[in-house]
Each structure stands twice: as structure tokens, then as C-alpha cells.
Amino acid sequence: MEAGTALTRLKSGNERFVSGALASMTERESLEAPIAILLACSDAKVPPEMVFDQVLGDLYVVRVPGNVAAPAQIADIEHAAQSFGTRLVVVLGHSGCDAVKATLTQLHLPEEERDESLAATVERIRPAVAELLESAIAGDEAALLAAAIESNTLAAVEHLLHDSDVLESHQQSGGLAIVGAVYDLCSGKVSFFE
């Protein structure tokens, strides 16, 4: 399936999710290859199959706190793109992301006071949010978090676009598209960056 067609399917699925007219509870299991690869946050409130109202088998989902594209996630996505021929990759950030929130909090602390258990996540997210901490919105907690979530999502898109020879060759010759989006926990709406 072409990336554009897959993207249209996800958008109309999210519209059904927002309106409450779900298809996935009644449709049988899909026997086709996954139409999209999702890199999403581990947060329990963001299950991609439900958010996009897709049936079993339709989405290949990689979940990790803060939807970061570390080498393990990139390898997993490369594998899915190669094995299934799936042509759309979506990085799905979400409002109120605790991983991004924790990163902003940790970066305010002196290094010796930071939580070791969060170090790996913080180091992955930090490059995408460091500049925002020095910007004019740094004093506005809600605006800072929203901007950091968007920036972190786009950073993962950039990593997938440029840090993988496999994905790069699929983009150039195979019609692979990699897009970012943010899910709003309150409205249920997914906004794509396009």
C-alpha cells in the first residue's frame, strides 16, 4: 500500500475514534501486511491500534518511553520495512508525555541529583529540548512541555529519515514516507506534521 493511502486510512481511523463510531470491534483480523509502522510512547493511554481504529494485524507497533528513535528502535523499524514492505512510518508523540516531562525536570537538577533510572531516556530526549530551556517559553510550563513534545517527535522523525541507510534507500526508491504526529489525550485527535 502506498504511504499516502496508508496515511489517509490512519486519519479516517482517528476521526472514527474521536467520533466514537469504531470499526475495529467488528472487523475481523486483517490478513494483509501491516499498513503502517508506528513508533509510539509506552504510555498506557496511547494504544495506536485504538487511536487509529485499526484492526489486528494492520499496525506494526514499536513502543518506547518518549517515542525516541534509539538504535534498537531504528533496527526494529528497518526490519519491519524490509520484511513487510510497509511504506508508512509514523512517529506518534502525545500531549502530557511523562518521559518528556521527566526530562525537562531532570535537566533542571544538578547532574549529581539526577535519577539514574531515567538517564537513558533523558539523554535521548535532551538534544531535542535543550534549546527550548534557554528560549522565551522556558518560563511557561505548559507551553514548554507542548513545544518539547513536538520537538522530540520531530527529532525522532529526523533520526529515522537520516540515521538509517536501509530506511533512506526505501525512501529514495521505494516510496517510504516517515511522518510525525502528536496525539491529544483530551480530544483524542491526532495532528500530523506535514
Q: Is 165 exposed, middle or buried (0-12, 13-18, 19+ CB in 10 A)?
A: exposed
Render 152-165 in DSSP notation, one character per residue. HHHHHHHHHHHS-H
CB of 83 to Zn ion, least distance (A): 27
Least distance (Å) between residue 66 CB and Zn ion: 6
From residue 170, alpha-carbon distances to 40, 91, 173 in Å are 21, 17, 5
Largest CA distance in the chain: 53
Which C-beta is closer to Zn ion: that of 121 or that of 171? 121
- 41/160 with CB nearer Zn ion: 41
Q: Binding residues for Zn ion, per CB under 5 A?
A: 41, 43, 97, 99
Compute the least distance from the CB of residue 8 to Zn ion, in Å. Answer: 26
* Measured distance between the N- and C-terminal CA atoms of the chain, rounded to whole angstroms: 19
Nearer to Zn ion, 42 or 82 (CB): 42
Closer to Zn ion by Cβ: residue 35 or 99: 99
Q: What's the burial of 134, exposed, middle or buried (CB within 10 Å: 0-12/13-18/19+)?
A: exposed
> Could you give the 3-state DSSP secondary structure of residue 43?
coil
Q: How far is the CB of 77 from Zn ion (least distance, A)?
A: 18
